[in-house]
Chain A
Amino acid sequence: MELGYLAAGLGAGIVSLGAGLGIGMIGKAAMEGTARQPEAANDIRTSMLISAAFIEGVALFGQVICIVLALA
């Protein structure tokens, strides 16, 4: 068995773990913010999506490396 596949699988899992935690925390903060100040819901949603996109970007860098590992 090639260890590259194992590395890619484990890496993908860990990356998803980090990204999930990060996006979960953003979602939590955004919901709390919206609950406290419902009139700011639109602004909060926009900034939430932007921060989620940044976290996702980092996670996807990791995933691309995992794909490269699996293919190499």
Chain B
Amino acid sequence: MALLEVENLQTHFRTPDGVNRAVDGVSFHVNAGETVAIVGESGCGKSVTSMSILRLIPEPPGKIAGAIRFQGRDLLKLSDREMRDIRGNEISMIFQEPMTSLNPVLTVGRQIGETLRLHQGLSKQQAEEKAVEMLTLVGIPEPRRRVREYPHQLSGGMRQRVMIAIALACNPKLLIADEPTTALDVTIQAQILELMKDLKHRVGAAIVLITHDLGVVAEVAERVIVMYAGRKVEEAAVGPLFNDPKHPYTQGLLGSMPKLGSSLHGDEGRLAEIPGLVPSLKKKIDGCVFAGRCPKVTDLCRQVAPALEEKAPGHVAACHYAIKEGAIAA
């Protein structure tokens, strides 16, 4: 059994202009200890998906449907109290902006200790000891001094390390990281990515990584889910996804990224563009969600929404025209 199974997740919001179908029928699973990345551009529903898993969507105006099974228990059926026991304990989250997600008036030690005292009932001394231990784990120098400091006394990279320390304090089985390095500079991002890879081996938590940066995905993920307009359009292990993308959207995304080192080969032609705009999620879309921007679109795509099909072992895509490997062999 997978650690997390999301089945037909739908997260909709009521707005005065109509129902915003931010996430509309997304299914995936995460195995214990695995790193799964959810990529897509702004508004594709990747962050809403992660917030839905922790039930952090305000209802109303939002509404979550489907099933989110964590260790076999459907999180959507739990009471608020049971959900609180899971948040920050068995499933924890790292946010993009380390400054705003830390409380500016509490010391770093208090903030790490708080979750421990809440979930594991540690005493004040024990919590501080554990906080120092966690800061050491995430590579903060002089943890005994830092534990008594306030967030504003730390740099951006340090704050993100503290966020990770808080998230890992209770030994969660699942860590949801929403754009954990987007706000950081590239050299600091490299430090944090290195730390996440290192911690993964030592802590063994599964990670759901939400990001728009395909480079970060290639660095840390094992399996990748590509989202577009609230749907999952492709899913594969990281290698096949980058080397042999099946969905035209994934192909377009990879083609529109300039590659570092391009000048070394002299391949500096025009970047591929994906023309047009993401469709409004407030209207029901008949057919394929990508039809309006797809270079390979046909009438079939506009009329019939493609199902997710296994195009190669472990590689699914929602496209009528993506070649099935099995079919070729036959």
A binds B: no
Residues of B that sit less than 8 Å from A by CB:
none
